[in-house]
Structure 1
Amino acid sequence: MARSTRTTGNRRLVGGAGILAAVAVLATTAAPAQAHPAPRGTVQISVGVNGAAPDNQSFSKGISADGRYALFTSWATNLVSQPAKSGRDAYVRDLRTGRTERINLADDGSVLDGFTDYVAINADGRYVAFESDAVNVVPGTQVQGRDEVYLRDRKTGRTELISGGPTSTDTDRFHASYAPSVSANGRYVAFVSSRTDLVPDLQGGGPSLARPYTWDYNIYVTDRRTGTTRLVTRGVDGKPGDSMSLNPTISADGRTIGFTSLAGNLLPAGQTPALTAPAAEGAATADVETAPGIPPALPRGARENQAQPNLSRPTTGAYYTYDVESGRISAASLDLDGNLGYASFDATISPDGRRAVYALPEPGGSTNGHRYHTVLYVRDLRKGTVTKISGGLPGTASVGSSDHARITADNRWVYFASAADNLVAGPQHPGWDVYRHDLRTGRDERIATAPDGSLGNGSSIDPVVDADGDTVVFGSTSGNLAGAGGPENTDYQVFARTTGHHGDGDDD
């Protein structure tokens, strides 16, 4: 996809339409003529052709705003009739019809021979963005072995390159683009990249061939309609962020982007909140317990070279928001005292961009012997208020981490994974489980349960939720969630559950 880049500082990228309006307009784009009711209860959606057992593990990644299309990645080779070539592929499951389709395909529809770890789906499920290191996803655009971000249009069957520079002068195979996030209408795609040719005024810089990867990853956003790309993590000195930025989440209207960063030049010195302990003590590389099964938020090249000496792998970073219209960056991951905390890499923003949800490390050990466990917070970015939401029942304490939170479009429900043993009364799950928090009442409830309400017999992680909180998709090793009563699985598989509850507006 050829594109030019121009200054967009005074151009309003989007109109004022909110998430609900966007969903209402877009909900019929990818739907077939005949509607089918969504299954009730809990069902496994990572299944092979004709209901066969999958031959490898799968991980939940996303869901369309109306709850119809679930997105996941899998190592399995038997989920669709078209054989997999290698690595991990991405799939969309229609929860109404039960149809599964592979989505990380070349522009000609052929199967890729590379890996796909990071994927994102838009509001109506028509567009899916993915990263891949496969060659010739779009002919003539791929550097051998380099991850790039692409977008698949499920309606037209076409795939386009998103992370393409206007000059394509960066041929360093160790530079990469990954971790896309898509606006509701599919127009805007935010992503992480270490490429040096995405915007004209940032071209140049020496190649990184002398080392297997670079920490100079920044956040970009591409407008597919105009073909322009903008640097999000531009420091106050006009330069790109001076350290790694990652984990972008774009709001439904494309106006707000949340991201994690270790850069020190994003805010003026006088506007940077004080770091809270343990952030001030170096928690970016501290031993923090995070949920199992979640791929690290680092690019594949960095992950594969973590065994090299003198390299410390970051586990947390400050969380920020970026206003696309004004270009302003603001610190988001504040604790109850207003200090800047280093959040785990699964921080996110609400679909309307109003709230940030993040997990901050707390000392005191963890259930698995780590030095820190994490606790969830929600910050109202408009009011500036901060609420701690996974502290547990009154009078109790736990060293189990809570992480991977996702918030519904009405800003009422927060779905998350946790190893804490004090969130709900009654029998406690011995490992990770999926919960839902009601921001209005403060009540937590367990989500990943068997049909009779009993505990899952494995670990459940990675919840993603639709706009109103009616359908949640998550990964689990439990064998008894769908009523089969089977033993715990060796691998993670993906499940969808209809909760029977609908959001009815936030506290405003």
Structure 2
Amino acid sequence: MASSRWELELWGIGERSLAVVREESLRHSQTHCLRADSARLVLDFSTRSDLLRPHSGTWGAMSPESRGKSTMSKRIFLSLALLASLGLVACGDDGTPPVTDSGTDDSAMGDGGTDCPTGQTECDGTCVDTDSDGMNCGACGTVCGAGEVCDGAGTCAVSCGTGLTDCSGSCIDTANNPAHCGGCGMACGAGEACLESMCATIDSCDTPSDPGAAGVTLSAPSGAAVEGGAPATYTVVLDSQPCTYVAVSVAGDAQIDGEPLTFVFTPDNWDTAQTVSGVAVHDFDIEGDHTGVLAHTATSGDTSYAGITIADVTVDIEDRAHVAHVSVSMGGAGANSNSLRPKISNDGRQVAFVSNASDLVPDDTGATTDVFLRDMMMGTTQRINEIPGGGQADSGAAYVQLSADGSVVAFASDATDLVTDTTSGGREVYYWNATDGVALASTFCSGCNQEMSAAFSISADGAFIAYSTRRAMVAADTDSEYDIYTLTLADGTLTHDSLNTADENGTFYWGSNAFTPHLSSTGRYLGFNSAARNLDTPDITVQNFHAYSKDRTDRTLTRTSFNDGGTDNCDGTHHVSNSSAPFISTDGSISVFSSACAFTLDSGAPADTNGFTDIFVRDIAATTTTRISLAHDGAESDADSTVVSISSDARYVLFRSAATNIVMNDTNGEQDLFVHDRMTSATIRVSYDAVYGELTGAVSDVAGFSPNGNFVVFATSDRILSTDDNDSTDVYAVRLR
């Protein structure tokens, strides 16, 4: 069963224009209503109770339940007067409210180096409460399944909807269940019914009219139920007047829920039709349009209606994706210019991106490209690259990176007035946090080559920033090429890391720079690529860039772009067979990189003969090299693929490809984003619209991936949601699980 179900209803694509946001926890239950100007979006999340859901650029705090807010308000209970008139005698109610499950926090990746407060555990560099974290329930990496939450005691438990209680793994309506009346295990006696959570003695009666006239009529559904959106409705009415009450209960299946769960007919209202709403469960399965079934049972003191057979209702369901519009203007519509290069936090709440739009925040002229941070829960956007005291910088920013918890933003900028420190007057790398504002990560060096690459990386725990520069920042840096340095933010320590195991420079070919650093979650491992010689054995013999992993603790360097089964180089063709900088798993065991080199692979795998750049996974200890950018039928892909990011445990790999055969029915001829699951070997396309349809245009060259692999952010010119009313490139977030 599922992780904690978060449900957002944004009505704009459908008939209504209301966002209902609900949150239920062990401690409290509350309901919020938000207006939505357009685009209905619904997201079911398995995550924390402060997490998010898209509503014109927000994810709303959601409830774990899948049923509507109105379930309890719509449920009709017999009044005490009615009970008395029907001869029902209350026989017990302990007054205990139904127990509900809390939302959970799934923000965890990393394996060490973080001091956590009492009651929290470090999981992949992030402090979490393993008693209540659905992604780390009871222990790091223990993920609760679909329909489950972490119950506050470190155990995955069933997540029940409004009005339902988890009784030994089953969701029970204790208001009308005779085996659990008013609470789990509180059974009613023989001849008693459960009414309004109380056991009551039933005086049987015979229908005064023809018993054969008893029956229940159901109308056809009004239409399809939309996942996370408009429900389907139908009516229920009795065929004849009963001599006492008739309670009808509605039960859905895994695809649909009924609202209300129970309603009552009396001798006075028996011929008044009552309406049932079939609310589609908004799951994470890409299943296309499908159906759900609602079953009905009757309980009554009228012998003609007690246990009478009532037909099931089958409802058509329209499948919907979990997609949110991130780059929205202050007015809630699309921004007035391009937004690009997004990154997303581990819990999906914070998204950083760059944009030259002027309507994302007040007092922005749009004259320069700025860095923005969007809070998807609060629906707020702030500009990050502001000068001391606030205000617009004198030059723009480029790429951006974000820590796993969203608290540290790193970016590159040519501005000269962001800090009071001495700068080169050209590109520098900066970082920001809410307490201290903007600070300089790169270091000025007088009289040296000031060139700074736009490539830099921040560790998921936000403790380290690595960047590539020609600046000779330490005495050992004796070459004129780009090298990689790592800054420890806590104490300002700077280490030169693009070195061999002896911490010596390699022998550089001309132009054999060390580029594109990728720090692991805790910053212990650094992935980079270089064409230098004498970095590792066997030495390279052809000038191509190779992939390396540097252990920043024991200082060892390992080349990871080897052929399968050993440590033979894939040298390839001069200046053609380059490998990208690898992404390294938190424990340093896995390296993921793209390469144009034709690697020798396991004998059971197809030979690398397609002549395209592919994605490879190197298990460093096992010395195996595996290609994952394959067609859906196991054949070679038919175009280039480039790795974009990995989850911190390297289970999930996000990559970009123009190949048409990685998934079936890829006909847009554009660059798409894909996620490969190394555990299941499944690859899915994740750049899609609200109905899982393929985009008509390409995604931008830079995308973001949360360290836990649950969220993807990308930029596209496609108008995925109705809030996107511009002709610019916009940023979207997708929830995968």
Q: Structure 1 length normalisation: TM-score?
A: 0.72
Any idea what the Cα deviations from partners look like across 1:179-215, whole Å, max 9, x if unmatched? 332223322211111112x224548x8xxxxxxxxx6
1:175 aligns with one of 447, 451, 454 = 451
For 1:473, the equivalent position in structure 2 comes to 713
For 2:483, the equivalent position in structure 1 comes to 218
AA at the equivalent of 2:590: R
AA at the equivalent of 2:688: T
Any idea what the Cα deviations from partners look like across 1:100-154, whole Å, max 9, x if unmatched? 111122343332122322221112111111121111321141122x211111112
For 1:113, the equivalent position in structure 2 comes to 394
AA at the equivalent of 1:164: T
For 1:257, the equivalent position in structure 2 comes to 526
- State percent identity of aligned pairs: 28
105 and 265 in structure 1: CA distance in 2 versus 1, 3 angstrom threshold = farther
24 and 216 in structure 1: CA distance in 2 versus 1, 3 angstrom threshold = same
The answer (yes or no) to whether the contact 1:64–1:124 under 8 Å persists in 2 is yes
The answer (yes or no) to whether the contact 1:136–1:142 under 8 Å persists in 2 is no
Q: How far did 1:219 drift?
A: 0.1
Report whether the alignment pairs 1:192 with 2:432: no
Q: How far did 1:169 drift?
A: 2.7
AA at the equivalent of 2:441: I
For 2:126, the equivalent position in structure 1 comes to 23
The answer (yes or no) to whether the contact 1:19–1:351 under 8 Å persists in 2 is no
Residue 82 of structure 1 aligns to a residue in which SS? coil
Q: How far did 1:320 drift?
A: 0.7
Residue 431 of structure 1 aligns to a residue in which SS? coil
For 1:498, the equivalent position in structure 2 comes to 735
Higher deviation after alignment, 489-498 or 126-135: 489-498
395 and 137 in structure 1: CA distance in 2 versus 1, 3 angstrom threshold = closer
AA at the equivalent of 1:193: T
Higher deviation after alignment, 338-347 or 66-75: 338-347
Report whether the alignment pairs 1:357 with 2:636: no
What pairs with 1:296-315 in structure 2 (closer than 5 Å)? Answer: none
Q: How far did 1:495 drift?
A: 0.7
The answer (yes or no) to whether the contact 2:580–2:595 under 8 Å persists in 1 is no
Unaligned runs of 5+ in 2: 1-111, 131-319, 572-576, 599-609
Higher deviation after alignment, 383-392 or 104-113: 104-113
Bigger radius of gyration, 1 or 2?
A: 2
For 2:443, the equivalent position in structure 1 comes to 164
Q: Structure 2 length normalisation: TM-score?
A: 0.51
Counterpart CA distance in 1 for 2:735 and 2:660 is: 24
427 and 261 in structure 1: CA distance in 2 versus 1, 3 angstrom threshold = closer
The answer (yes or no) to whether the contact 1:143–1:171 under 8 Å persists in 2 is no
Q: How far did 1:77 drift?
A: 2.5
Q: How far did 1:222 drift?
A: 1.3
Any idea what the Cα deviations from partners look like across 1:391-426, whole Å, max 9, x if unmatched? 212364443111133222333221221111111123
178 and 426 in structure 1: CA distance in 2 versus 1, 3 angstrom threshold = closer
Report whether the alignment pairs 1:458 with 2:697: yes
What pairs with 1:132-171 in structure 2 (closer than 5 Å)? Answer: 132-144=413-425, 146-154=426-434, 156-164=435-443, 168-170=445-447
1:83 aligns with one of 364, 370, 393 = 364
Counterpart CA distance in 2 for 1:423 and 1:414 is: 14
Any idea what the Cα deviations from partners look like across 1:373-395, whole Å, max 9, x if unmatched? 21111122333322211121236
2:555 aligns with one of 317, 321, 327 = 327
Q: How far did 1:453 drift?
A: 2.5
Counterpart CA distance in 2 for 1:438 and 1:186 is: 26
Counterpart CA distance in 2 for 1:128 and 1:352 is: 24
Counterpart CA distance in 2 for 1:247 and 1:138 is: 25
Q: How far did 1:252 drift?
A: 1.6
Q: How far did 1:318 drift?
A: 1.2
Counterpart CA distance in 2 for 1:79 and 1:484 is: 14
478 and 319 in structure 1: CA distance in 2 versus 1, 3 angstrom threshold = same
For 2:624, the equivalent position in structure 1 comes to 385
With CA pairs under 8 Å and 6+ residues apart, which has the higher RCO, 1 or 2? 1
Counterpart CA distance in 2 for 1:190 and 1:452 is: 39
Any idea what the Cα deviations from partners look like across 1:63-89, whole Å, max 9, x if unmatched? 112222112112323221131463322
Report whether the alignment pairs 1:61 with 2:342: yes
Q: How far did 1:247 drift?
A: 0.6
What pairs with 1:396-407 in structure 2 (closer than 5 Å)? Answer: 396-407=635-646
For 2:504, the equivalent position in structure 1 comes to 238
The answer (yes or no) to whether the contact 1:131–1:147 under 8 Å persists in 2 is yes
471 and 189 in structure 1: CA distance in 2 versus 1, 3 angstrom threshold = same
1:266 aligns with one of 528, 535, 538 = 535
Report whether the alignment pairs 1:339 with 2:562: no
For 1:9, the equivalent position in structure 2 comes to none
AA at the equivalent of 1:416: F
Give the RMSD, CA atoms, in angstroms: 3.2
Counterpart CA distance in 1 for 2:724 and 2:466 is: 41
For 1:374, the equivalent position in structure 2 comes to 613
Counterpart CA distance in 2 for 1:14 and 1:434 is: 32
Counterpart CA distance in 2 for 1:157 and 1:23 is: 21
Counterpart CA distance in 2 for 1:47 and 1:67 is: 16
Q: How far did 1:246 drift?
A: 1.1
Higher deviation after alignment, 411-420 or 59-68: 59-68
Any idea what the Cα deviations from partners look like across 1:231-255, whole Å, max 9, x if unmatched? 1123558347733111111112121
AA at the equivalent of 2:713: V
Any idea what the Cα deviations from partners look like across 1:149-168, whole Å, max 9, x if unmatched? 111112x1422212125xx4
Counterpart CA distance in 2 for 1:441 and 1:423 is: 15
Counterpart CA distance in 1 for 2:374 and 2:727 is: 22
Between the two proteins, the alignment pairs up a number of residues equal to 410
The answer (yes or no) to whether the contact 1:253–1:352 under 8 Å persists in 2 is no
Q: How far did 1:15 drift?
A: 7.2
Residue 118 of structure 1 aligns to a residue in which SS? strand
395 and 133 in structure 1: CA distance in 2 versus 1, 3 angstrom threshold = closer
The answer (yes or no) to whether the contact 2:355–2:371 under 8 Å persists in 1 is yes
For 2:326, the equivalent position in structure 1 comes to 45
382 and 405 in structure 1: CA distance in 2 versus 1, 3 angstrom threshold = farther
93 and 420 in structure 1: CA distance in 2 versus 1, 3 angstrom threshold = same
The answer (yes or no) to whether the contact 2:114–2:127 under 8 Å persists in 1 is no
AA at the equivalent of 2:557: I
340 and 103 in structure 1: CA distance in 2 versus 1, 3 angstrom threshold = farther
Q: How far did 1:177 drift?
A: 5.6
16 and 81 in structure 1: CA distance in 2 versus 1, 3 angstrom threshold = closer
265 and 79 in structure 1: CA distance in 2 versus 1, 3 angstrom threshold = farther
Any idea what the Cα deviations from partners look like across 1:466-507, whole Å, max 9, x if unmatched? 13222211122222x336798xx86432110112x2xxxxxx
The answer (yes or no) to whether the contact 1:376–1:390 under 8 Å persists in 2 is yes
AA at the equivalent of 2:525: T
Q: How far did 1:171 drift?
A: 5.8
The answer (yes or no) to whether the contact 1:180–1:191 under 8 Å persists in 2 is yes
Unaligned runs of 5+ in 1: 1-12, 28-38, 206-214, 285-316, 364-370, 502-508
Residue 117 of structure 1 aligns to a residue in which SS? strand
